[in-house]
């Protein structure tokens, strides 16, 4: 058995919960001390999850096909045949109205489920918003055909995706990968309401991070960043805060690091006791001295006020992995902290110009 197979078998045993207490402790210590091994664990866990989801879809399809085969379609046709002429007439008369009503109903149902947080853990919020956008686009197309009047402005004026924040003063912004995944185009909007076109220059699905570059001619370089990026780990009970766009306005929330590991023991993230909402995804998590210690990327739906943030050390790893010769402008991180010693309100005011609402199309 080669070394790679041994590692895979060890990770499988960990995921199945088959390790003894002593083996589990050794396993966690190895993850903490060996970044390469830790990355292998995360990647394999994602692979197993994807394969499980795929198997579930195949099983569901098989069950649906089996049910379909059991239905006597011809018998159903014979039972309803006398009513077919009436049904056809009604369909021909009301099919457009029915299509519109069905579309509106779908929007209402998805909107209700989305607002209750039902999809928070199962499906990324940016994905749902793009699905709703697709439905709305279809609705607009139907209305255009019915009225035969020109639609003023774009059919899709952009959908709110999440939060991002500057990592340099010359237009580089970081957010969550799940916020921009599958987007055709991306815009970022500052707290003053100014929007700029941006593009993806690097993605790291393993750590759920994406680096964007503002490419809009109207964008002017920002002043030097007032915050730095913490390389070391933050301590449990350490005070932290986040600034982001859970709604149209910039919102400040504070809390503390409640665990050095994230969801189900994920060593890539912190667990944080702090109130966040879906729009906070991609926002910065800072300590009271003004150091970025993480990137908010998810919340716990079953427990109020529990969130998770990718550790800043993994953000730095992702930034270091970007080939510098592939960049149009240099990406140099700020090393001077100008927030330390300031009151929370003063820190917030200095941060505002560097926090962006991310909109995806």
The pTM is what? 0.58
For residues 290 and 347, what is the distance between their CA atoms, to the nearest angstrom? Answer: 7
Beta-sheet strands, E only, within the chain: 159-166, 172-175, 186-189, 195-204, 209-214, 228-229, 239-244, 251-259, 269-273, 284-287, 291-299, 306-311, 355-360
Decide if 359 contacts 187 (C-beta within 8 A): yes
Between 313 and 70, the more confident residue is 313
From residue 132, give the alpha-carbon distance in Å to each of 191, 195, 235, 351.
25, 22, 40, 32
For residues 278 and 295, what is the distance between their CA atoms, to the nearest angstrom? Answer: 13
Closest among 48, 178, 161 to 122, alpha carbons compared: 178
pLDDT at position 146: 38
Decide if 288 contacts 240 (C-beta within 8 A): yes
Tell me the pairing of strands 355-360 and 186-189. Answer: antiparallel
pLDDT at position 313: 97
pLDDT at position 4: 80
From residue 329, give the alpha-carbon distance in Å to each of 171, 324, 332.
9, 9, 9
From residue 164, give the alpha-carbon distance in Å to each of 135, 190, 214, 242.
26, 10, 12, 12
Decide if 355 contacts 230 (C-beta within 8 A): no
Highest-pLDDT range among 94-98, 139-143, 227-231, 328-332: 227-231
| Tokens 């049910």 belong to residue | 67
Conformational region of residue 117, where left means phi above 0, alpha means psi within -120 to 50, and beta covers everything else? left
Closest among 351, 179, 184, 159 to 253, alpha carbons compared: 351
In the structure, what pLDDT confidence band is assigned to residue 86 with cuts at 50, 70 and 90? low
Percent with pLDDT over 90 in the chain:
50
Cβ neighbours of 140 (radius 10 Å): 15
Domain parsing of the chain, residue ranges: 3-66, 73-147, 158-361
From residue 39, give the alpha-carbon distance in Å to each of 10, 46, 206, 222, 230.
14, 11, 8, 34, 20
Residue 205 CB partners (closer than 8 Å, separation 6+): 46, 177
Taking domain 158-361, whether its CATH number is 2.40.10.120 is answered by: yes
Structure confidence by residue, pLDDT tens digits, 122-174:
444 555 555 555 555 555 444 443 333 333 323 334 566 899 999 999 999 99
């Amino acid at each position: 058995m080669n070394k790679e197979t041994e590692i895979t078998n060890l990770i499988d045993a960990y995921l199945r919960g088959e390790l003894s207490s002593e083996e589990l402790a050794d396993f966690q210590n190895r993850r903490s001390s060996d970044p390469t091994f830790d990355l292998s664990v995360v990647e394999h866990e994602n692979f197993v999850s994807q394969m499980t989801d795929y198997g579930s879809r195949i099983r569901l399809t098989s069950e649906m096909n089996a049910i379909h085969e059991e239905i006597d379609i011809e018998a159903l046709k014979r039972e309803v045949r006398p009513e077919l002429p009436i049904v056809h007439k009604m369909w021909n008369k009301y099919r457009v109205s029915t299509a519109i009503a069905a579309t509106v109903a779908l929007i209402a149902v998805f909107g209700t489920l989305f607002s209750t947080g039902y999809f928070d853990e199962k499906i990324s919020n940016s994905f749902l918003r793009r699905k709703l956008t697709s439905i709305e686009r279809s609705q607009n197309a139907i209305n255009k055909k019915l009225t035969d009047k020109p639609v003023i402005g774009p059919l899709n004026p952009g959908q709110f995706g999440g939060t991002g924040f500057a990592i340099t003063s010359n237009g580089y912004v970081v957010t969550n990968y799940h916020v921009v995944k599958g987007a055709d185009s991306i815009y970022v909007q500052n707290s003053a309401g100014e929007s700029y076109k941006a593009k993806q220059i690097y993605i790291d699905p393993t750590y759920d991070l994406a680096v964007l570059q503002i490419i809009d001619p109207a964008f002017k370089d920002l002043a030097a960043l007032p915050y730095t990026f913490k390389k070391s780990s933050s301590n449990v009970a350490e005070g932290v805060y986040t600034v982001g766009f859970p709604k149209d306005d910039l919102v400040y929330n504070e809390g503390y690091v409640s665990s050095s590991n994230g969801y189900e023991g994920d060593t890539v993230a912190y667990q944080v006791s702090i109130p966040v909402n879906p729009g906070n995804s991609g926002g910065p998590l800072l300590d009271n001295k003004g150091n970025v210690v993480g990137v908010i990327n998810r919340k716990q739906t079953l427990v109020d006020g529990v969130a998770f943030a990718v550790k800043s050390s993994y953000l730095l790893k992702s930034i270091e992995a970007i080939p510098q010769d592939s960049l149009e402008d240099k990406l140099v991180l700020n090393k001077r902290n100008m927030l330390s010693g300031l009151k929370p309100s003063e820190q917030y005011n200095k941060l505002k110009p560097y926090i962006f609402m991310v909109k995806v199309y």
